Amino acid sequence: MASSSDFALSVPSELESVLRLRTVDYFITRRPWLDLYGVNVRPVAPFGSASRKPYVESALIHQCLPDELLFEVFARMTPYDLGKASCVCRKWRYTIRNPVFWRVACLKAWQLSGVVENYRILQSKYDGSWRKMWLSRPRLRTDGIYVSRNTYIRAGVAEWKITNPVHLVCYFRYMRFFPSGRFLYKNSSQKIKDVVKFMNFRSSKVDSVFGGHYTLSDDKVEAAVLYPGMRPTVLRIRLSVRGTTPGANNRMDLISLVTSGVNNSEASAPEEDILGVVEGWRDDETHNPDVPAVSHKRGMTPFVFVPFDQVETSVFNLPVEKMDYYVPG
Amino acid sequence: MTQLDRLSVYHWLNAWCIKPVGGALVRQEPEYILLALMGSPLKKIMLCSSEKEIFSVEEQVMVQHSVIINNMIEDGSYNHEESKIPLDCVDSKTLKKVIDYCTHHTHHHNDNQEDLEAWDAQFLNVDSNGLYDLLMAANYLEIRNLLDLIYGTIKNMIKGKKIDEIRRIFNIKDHGFTPEEEEQNRKEYPHFY
């Protein structure tokens, strides 16, 4: 039976009320097809399909492997690879439709909301389907880095024949999110393939990677990161997540970016309290008179998501002259 | 003394097999030293494949890796003098490979990670048929690390590849989608193809 211990569903007591919904009927209704487990199920292709003739199974994996073992293979894949595998053939698609995969992925990705809240949202917004939640609910991807490329023009020094030189300067904002509620921020002109190895918690302030905390409600991200030092500053970032295709979650639009001063007691508070410290601050509020609050208006290009396996080949590595300005969709 | 300790002592004795006998240093067979120290020889168990071929393996080796065999031995239902464990789901060729894996991992568990991984990669250099047979044998015998290894291999066959490549690798000649469904998939998820 395809229920290894990794996926055993043990329901905590606080979920009793949530389950008093139609999904409970799902578990007690008779299901004759459960007897098919352990048997190689060959889904019948629909009428128009080319495969309606007597079915000859060519794939060795389908001839040899019982369905539970195929399930185990899929259990070790990321949701992205699961989506890809469900396009390979009908049998794989039906195996991957199993809500267990999507439940595990959802509870991990939205762990900040908590299990009870996730179940509640599942019932109210997504009809009890974890797969629908995975595809429609906005989430911050953790398998790569969000990059915002900003450019500006500055005047250069006039040389012999070049009378009015301008330089096109390009800098990047890098953000990497973790499911635990932390994120890393770096603002630099270095290319993404050089920056990616520093975007982890082993980096120090010397690499100018700063760590902060964030929350996600619906598609709105509230993030705060403290820049320590002589004049401690807090950077408050508000973003909204969207995707170019459903479930892609590969774009973030900057709603506001504010740097303000914090006083000494706030600066020395533990890192995880930073969101609590800045909660409810107005846009122009600052707690250190030496550091005025600045709401940035430039350098607000939308963030584009680059998965780790595309970091080396991403267009963001191109030098300024070769850049294509239409990347954010 | 636990089962595992015996094995380590056995190997240590094998390497340093000297025992003072009557004032002189004489090399002794490790089994006898073990016998003298602990009172029982290194146990072997018999495994019987589906083709009725019998394989003799050190008990420690199988007990360490296979949950099923460990349970059988601990139950006490296995009588060392007479019994053999019938494994009707596993044929001789696969059983030999499984035993090979377990023995190597028991004897070399102190090696560094790279060597072990290299050996594992070489071990899995078999054709698809052999791979699936190994997977089913490991599943039946519940050998956790071999299972993880093979699942990881199959997962890597899927990860990072385009759909047409995956279909070719697994020899899925007929994907079972209608032409309209296939076209819709290609339009919705072009990055997969």
Identify the CATH number of the domain in which residue B148 sits: 3.30.710.10
Q: Kindly state whether residues A124 and A196 are assigned to the same domain.
A: no
Is there a domain that residue A323 lies in? no
> Which CATH number covers residue A113?
1.20.1280
Is there a domain that residue A14 lies in? no
B104 part of contact set with chain A, CB < 8 Å: no
Degrees, nearest 5: CA angle A222-A227-A231 = 125
A81 part of contact set with chain B, CB < 8 Å: yes
pLDDT at A84 over 80: yes
Q: Kindly state whether residues A257 and A284 are assigned to the same domain.
A: yes
How is A10-55 classified by DSSP, letter by letter?
Answer: ---GGGHHHHSSHHHHHHHS--GGGGGTTS---PPPPTT-GGGSSP
Query: What pLDDT is attached to residue B3?
Result: 54
Q: Which residues from chain A sit within 8 angstroms of residue B179, using beta carbons?
A: 48-50
- Domain stop point among A136, A153, A178: A136
Q: Kindly state whether residues A181 and A213 are assigned to the same domain.
A: yes
Q: Kindly state whether residues B27 and B87 are assigned to the same domain.
A: no
Is there a domain that residue A260 lies in? yes
Query: What pLDDT is attached to residue A46?
Result: 55
How large is the ipTM? 0.75
Query: What pLDDT is attached to residue B15?
Result: 62
Q: Kindly state whether residues B78 and B19 are assigned to the same domain.
A: no
Show the low-confidence residues of chain B (pLDDT under 50). 1, 20-25, 35, 38-41
pLDDT digits (tens, 9 = 90+) for A35-73: 666 666 556 655 555 555 556 677 888 888 888 899 999
Q: Kindly state whether residues B33 and B105 are assigned to the same domain.
A: no
Q: In what order do the strands lie in the sheet with B44-48?
A: B54-58, B44-48, B85-86
* Domains identified in chain A, total number: 2
Nearest CB to B172 within list A46, A83, A88: A88
A329 part of contact set with chain B, CB < 8 Å: no
Query: What pLDDT is attached to residue B30?
Result: 58
Name the residue in chain B with its Cα closest to that of A52. Answer: B176
Is there a domain that residue A151 lies in? yes
Residue-wise burial string across B88-120, b where 16 or more C-beta atoms lie within 10 A, e elsewhere: eebebebbebbbebbbbbbeeeeeeeeeeeeeb
Q: Kindly state whether residues A290 and A190 are assigned to the same domain.
A: yes
Are the Cβ atoms of A77 and B139 closer than 8 angstroms? Answer: no
CA-closest candidate to residue B150, choices A73, A111, A170: A73
Is there a domain that residue B1 lies in? no
Structure tokens at A79: 């949701």
Is there a domain that residue A36 lies in? no
Q: Kindly state whether residues B74 and B143 are assigned to the same domain.
A: yes
- Domain stop point among A81, A105, A136: A136
Is there a domain that residue B125 lies in? yes
Is there a domain that residue A47 lies in? no
Is there a domain that residue B187 lies in? no
User: What is the domain extent for residue A127?
Assistant: 60-136
Is there a domain that residue A259 lies in? yes
Mean pLDDT, residues A229-249 taken together? 88
Greater pLDDT, A19 or B87: B87
Query: What pLDDT is attached to residue B40?
Result: 41
Q: Kindly state whether residues B51 and B23 are assigned to the same domain.
A: no
User: What is the 3-class SS of A147-176, one letter each residue?
Assistant: EEEEEEEEECCCCCCCCCCEEEEEEEEEEE
**Chain A interface disruption, residue of B159, B184, B189, most A CBs within 10 A:** B159
B32 part of contact set with chain A, CB < 8 Å: no
Is there a domain that residue A15 lies in? no
CA-closest candidate to residue B147, choices B180, B174, B171, B124: B124
Is there a domain that residue B192 lies in? no
Q: Kindly state whether residues B73 and B92 are assigned to the same domain.
A: yes
* Domains identified in chain B, total number: 2
* Nearest-CA distance A196 → chain B (Å): 20
Q: Kindly state whether residues A245 and A267 are assigned to the same domain.
A: yes
Q: Kindly state whether residues B30 and B123 are assigned to the same domain.
A: no
A72 part of contact set with chain B, CB < 8 Å: yes
Q: Kindly state whether residues B32 and B49 are assigned to the same domain.
A: no
Nearest CB to A60 within list B129, B152, B155: B129
User: What is the domain extent for residue B18?
Assistant: 6-38
DSSP-based three-state secondary structure for B21:
strand
B133 part of contact set with chain A, CB < 8 Å: yes
How are beta strands B85-86 and B44-48 bridged, if at all? parallel
Q: Kindly state whether residues B34 and B50 are assigned to the same domain.
A: no
- Contact of A320 with A170, CB cutoff 8 Å: yes
Query: What pLDDT is attached to residue A218?
Result: 87
Mean pLDDT, residues A7-18 taken together? 59
Is there a domain that residue B178 lies in? no
Query: What pLDDT is attached to residue B74?
Result: 83
Q: Kindly state whether residues B132 and B100 are assigned to the same domain.
A: yes
* Nearest-CA distance A310 → chain B (Å): 11
A313 part of contact set with chain B, CB < 8 Å: no
Q: Which residues from chain A sit within 8 angstroms of residue B171, using beta carbons?
A: 58-60
Query: What pLDDT is attached to residue A130?
Result: 93
Range with the poorest average pLDDT among A80-94, A261-275, B48-62, B170-184: A261-275
Is there a domain that residue B114 lies in? yes
Name the residue in chain B with its Cα closest to that of A48. Answer: B178
Q: Kindly state whether residues B71 and B28 are assigned to the same domain.
A: no
Pairs of residues, one from chain A and one from chain B, whose beta carbons lie less than 8 Å apart: 95
Return phi, psi of residue A212, to 5°.
Answer: -145, -170
B127 part of contact set with chain A, CB < 8 Å: no
